[in-house]
Amino acid sequence: MRGNLRVLGIESTAHTFSASVVGEREGVITNAKDVYLPPEGSGIHPAEAADHHLSVAARVVREALDEAGAQGLDDVDAVAYSMGPGLGPCLRVGAVTARALSLASGKPLVAVNHAVGHIELGCLLTGARAPLVLLISGGHTMVLAHSNGVWRVLGETLDLTLGQLLDQIGRHVGFASPCGRRIEEAAARSSRYLRLPYTVKGNDVSFSGVLTAAKRLVDGGAPPEDVFYSVQETAFAITTEVTERALAFTGARELLVVGGVAANRRLSEMLRKMAERHEASVMVVPPQFSGDCGAQIAWTGLLAYRAGESLAGVAESVVRQSWRLDTVRTPWRA
Amino acid sequence: MELIYRGAEADVFKGGWCDRPAVYKVRKPLTYRLPELDGLIRSQRTSHEAQIIHQSRGAGVPAPWLYYVSPEEALLVMEFVEGERLKTVLMDPAMTGRRARELGAEFGRDIARLHAAGIMHGDLTTSNVIVGGGRLTLIDFGLAIRSQRLEDQAVDLRLIKETVTGAHNGVSKPFMRSLLAGYSEVLGGTRTAAAARKLAEIERRGRYARVE
C-alpha cells in the first residue's frame, strides 16, 4: 500500500449510476453521476434503470477518473462497488463494471454496503465522530448508533420509508420519483394542516396510515399543497420524535442526518429545534452528497480496504438485494 | 422541584404531594411540532397514560400510584419509586450473568401479566423499569395501548430485544432467554411460543432482513 490511498467507487443501487475517486488525504476528489428519470407519475422500473446504467457506465467512470487527473486505473489502489441492498438489475450493472475494471487493472475489489456508505461519507463531510445517525432515504428510515463493531438499529420504520412515503404521495398527484424536492416546494406554499394519523410504536415509526389518509384527501379534492404540508408536518414530527427518544436514550452529542431526505430543509429545522433541548449538534450531509453517489462507496471502500477488507477475487463479487445494515462488519471503527 | 429526567417527550421532576415524595411528569410543548398537532397529542397521551397506569395496577403489575391527573396541563403526579433504572443496573461492570437472568425473568413475568390484561406497554426499554425495594416497577406508560393482538404483544417484546441487544450487548443473550422463560411462567408455553414466532416473523418483515 502507498502512503496516500486512492479508491474508485461505483454506485448503482437504484436510479443513480455514479463513480467517484477519493483519496486518503484529499477526501472526495471527483463524483460523476447520471440519474435515471422515470416518466411523470411513475416510479423506478428496475430493468429500465439498469438499461440506463449500462448505457452511461463507461462515460461516468471515465469522467470520474479523468477529472481526478488519474492515469486510468494506475493511480487507484482498489475498486469499490455497492454490493447492496438495492434493486437486483441495477446492482448487477455496478458489479459487472467493477469486475471488469478490477480484472483489467489487477486492482483488488472491495464490496461496500450502500447504507453504511451514506453514514461514513456523512461522517467524512461533517466531521461527526461518534454520532447518533438518522438515515432517511427511499430505501431506509432508521435511527442508528455504533456499538460492538456494527451500526445498531435503535428504531426504524415498520413499513414505508420516508422516501417512499413522499414518492408515493407525489406520484399520486402525477409527479415522477424522486418527488421530495417538488413536495417540499409545494408544501412551503401552504400552512393549512389537515389531520393525518400519527403513529409511533416504541422507537419505531409507521407511515402506511399517513399515506392512505393523504391519498384519500387528494382523491377528495383537497389542494395538493395542503396535503403535502400536512404529510411533511406529520411524518417529520413522527421521525423527529423517535430520533429524540434515541438521543435521550443514548445521550449522544452529535446527530448525523444522511440519505436523500436529509436534503429537506423543514425536516432539518425540526431536528435542530429538537436537538437544542438535548444540547446535541445536528450535522446534515451537504445536499449535493445526500442522494446516492459514488463517493459514499469509494470512501467506505477506502476505509474497508485500509482495514484489510477486500474480496479474494471476482468470484466473490456477488450482489445482495437484501443486506441489513446491522449485519455489516465495520472493522475500521473501534 | 428538581428535574430528574429530561425525556424525549416529557420532563420529569421530583417534588412532594401531601407530604410524600412524588414525581411530576409534564409533557412540555414540543416546538418542532405544529402547535395544533402538539396540543392534541400531549393532552390525549396524558389522560390515556393515567387510565393505563390505573388498569396495570389492577392487573397486579407494579406501576406507580397516581396522585393527580390534568390533561389540560399535560401533567401527571405519581408516586416516586425508589431505586435505579434497569438500564443503569445492566450497565454496571459488576453485573453477573446470574443477576441478569434473575432480572430478565422478573421483567418477563411483569410483561406477561400486563399482556394477559390486554395492555401493551409500547415503550419497554430498560430506561422504563426501576429496580428497587426487592422488585421491578414499570414506569412511563405514555405509549401504552389496549390490545389483544398477538402482533402487538410481539412488537412489545421486539422493542426490549432491540434495546437490550443495542445497548447491553454483553448480557443480552442470558437476559432475553430468561425474560421469555419468565413470560411463559405466567402466560404458558403455547402463548409464549406463539409470541416468539410472531416476533421472528416481524423481524423477517424488517427491511432487508435475511429470510431464513
ipTM of the complex: 0.80
Domain ranges of chain B: 2-79, 84-205
Question: Where in chain A do CATH 3.30.420.40 domains reside?
Answer: 6-118+290-327, 130-287
HSE value, Cβ hemisphere, 13 Å, CA-based, for A106: 2
Share of chain A above pLDDT 70, in %: 99
Concatenated DSSP letters for chain B?
-EEEEE-SS-EEEEEEETTEEEEEEE-PPPTTS-HHHHHHHHHHHHHHHHHHHHHHHHTT---PPEEEEETTTTEEEEEPPPSEEHHHHHH-TT--HHHHHHHHHHHHHHHHHHHHTTEE-S---GGGEEEETTEEEE---TT-EE---HHHHHHHHHHHHHHHHHH-GGGHHHHHHHHHHHHHHHH-HHHHHHHHHHHHHHHHHSTT----
pLDDT given at position B209:
65
Q: Provide the residue count of chain A.
A: 334
- B82-99: string of b/e by CB count within 10 Å (b at 16+)? ebebbbebbeeeebeeeb
Q: Which chain A residues are closer than 8 Å to B42 by Cβ? A: none
The overall average pLDDT reported for chain A is 95
Of the candidates A205, A201, A211, the residue with the CA atom closest to the CA atom of residue A232: A211
Of the candidates A106, A103, A100, A76, the residue with the CA atom closest to the CA atom of residue A7: A76
Q: Which three cell numbers stand for residue A231?
A: 404529510
Residues of chain B with pLDDT under 70: 207-212
User: Across the interface, which of A154, A158, A240 has its CB nearest the CB of B166?
Assistant: A154
CATH of domain B84-205: 1.10.510.10
pLDDT given at position B212:
38
pLDDT given at position A291:
94
A47-75: average pLDDT: 93
Cis ω before A85 (30° cut-off from 0): yes
C-alpha to C-alpha distances, B7 to A199, A241, A249, B81, nearest whole angstrom? 19, 11, 8, 17
A264-275: average pLDDT: 96
A237-251: average pLDDT: 93
Interface test with A, best of B36, B207, B211 (most A CBs within 10 A): B207
Write out the CATH class of domain B2-79: alpha beta
Residue found by looking up cell 409500547 in the block: B122
Q: Which chain B residues are closer than 8 Å to A156 by Cβ? A: 206-207
CA dihedral B80, B81, B86, B87 (to 10 degrees): 10
A308-325: average pLDDT: 93
Separation CA A241–CA B8 (nearest Å): 7
Confidence band (pLDDT; 50, 70, 90) for A261?
Answer: very high
Q: Which three cell numbers stand for residue A48?
A: 429500465
Q: Which three cell numbers stand for residue A164?
A: 417512499
CATH (one of 3.90.420.10, 3.40.50.12280, 3.30.420.40, 3.40.50.10470) for A130-287: 3.30.420.40
Q: Express each pLDDT in A97-128 by its tens digit.
A: 999 999 999 999 999 999 999 999 999 999 99
A92 pLDDT higher than 80? yes
pLDDT given at position A197:
94
CATH fold of A6-118+290-327: Nucleotidyltransferase; domain 5 (3.30.420)
Q: Which of the residue ranges A246-250, A258-262, B48-52 would you say has the lowest mean pLDDT?
A: A246-250
Cβ–Cβ gap B209/A139 under 8 Å = no
Range with the largest mean pLDDT of A33-47, A198-212, A298-312: A298-312
Coil, helix or strand for A178? coil
A300-312: average pLDDT: 96
- In angstroms, the separation between the Cα of residue B101 and the nearest Cα of chain A is 21
In single-letter form, the type of residue at position A276 comes to: E
Coil, helix or strand for A135? strand
Cβ–Cβ gap B208/A322 under 8 Å = yes
Cβ–Cβ gap B32/A157 under 8 Å = no
Of residues A70 and A271, more confidently modeled: A271
Burial of B153 (0-12, 13-18, 19+ CB in 10 A): buried
Q: Which three cell numbers stand for residue A244?
A: 429524540
Other beta carbons within 10 angstroms of residue B38's beta carbon come to 18
User: Across the interface, which of A140, A157, A248 has its CB nearest the CB of B7?
Assistant: A248
